[in-house]
Amino acid sequence: MRSNIAHGETSLRIFEWGKIFLQEENDLPDEKIWFAGLMSGAYRSKTWYSDEREVDYYDAKGIVEGMLENLGVQGIFFQRGAQCPPYDPEFSSQVLSSGTLLGQVGQVSRDVMKEFDLENEKAFLFDLDIASVLSALPRDKRFQPFAKYPAVYRDISMVLSRSVESGKVLSLIKEEGKSLVESVQIFDFYQGRKMAPNEKALGFRICYRSSDGTLEGAAVNDLHEKIIERIRRETGGRLREG
């Protein structure tokens, strides 16, 4: 990264795959194969229709999540607050699948950046244990037929405590909606004015679809309200107004 920046390349997307050796106490080093990637600089350049935006934690997290989902890994969860030495504890997560640790993702800590004379830069890193990822892959991959019936989309915008993980809300939506929730995406994130210092707003777009027939609007609305109530009950959140 330092070499690239010295040559004027500040918006980086680099990765490496290879062996590492972890020293075990009173034992020989443990050889593992790891996959790591790094992002820095601009996520999007300035154009006539949009402003420049810097890479952030959610971009790195999204790449890891998308990659694992495309491989077929189930039960992906990002656990914040874990102490991972190279990472800033406020902007990092452990990556888990059904309770198994796959790796980490987050912002490289200022102390580490300073060691490489990059204290004025930000970098976002992920590292994955390939053996753990392979063990999380499904044994069988089956073709999913194209959907016969139309999808119905509904949005939820919630004000939540900053301590509430987005992954927890996503899990609640999927648990309550069961097979009728085809997918959920976060489309909005806000912290700032008109909101308490310990609050954040998250917007979720839910895709409802049944494999048995066309969903009636009343049935979707009823399920949607149940999901909102579940989020309120288990997170203490409220619907965002305006």
**Can you give the pLDDT of all 242 residues of the chain as single tens digits?**
888 888 888 889 999 999 988 777 767 788 889 999 999 988 887 777 778 888 998 889 989 998 998 898 988 888 887 677 789 988 899 999 988 999 999 999 999 999 988 888 999 999 999 999 999 998 877 777 888 999 999 999 999 998 888 888 998 999 999 999 999 988 888 888 888 889 999 999 999 999 999 999 999 999 999 999 999 999 999 999 86
Regarding pTM above 0.85, the answer is no
Separation in Å, CA 80 to CA 104, 163, 166, 180, 200: 10, 9, 10, 28, 16
pLDDT given for residue 76 in this prediction:
87
Q: Residue 154, exposed/middle/buried by CB under 10 A (0-12, 13-18, 19+)?
A: middle
Domain 152-239 has CATH 3.30.70.380: yes
For 169, the 3-state DSSP assignment is helix
* Domain 2-136 class in CATH: alpha beta
In degrees and rounded to multiples of 5, residue 148 shows phi and psi of: -90, -25
The domain locations on the chain are: 2-136, 152-239
Q: CA angle, 80 as apex, 233 and 105 as ends, to 5°?
A: 140
How many CB atoms are located within 10 Å of the residue 51 CB?
A: 8
Determine the number of helices (DSSP H) and then strands (DSSP E) in the chain.
Answer: 6, 12
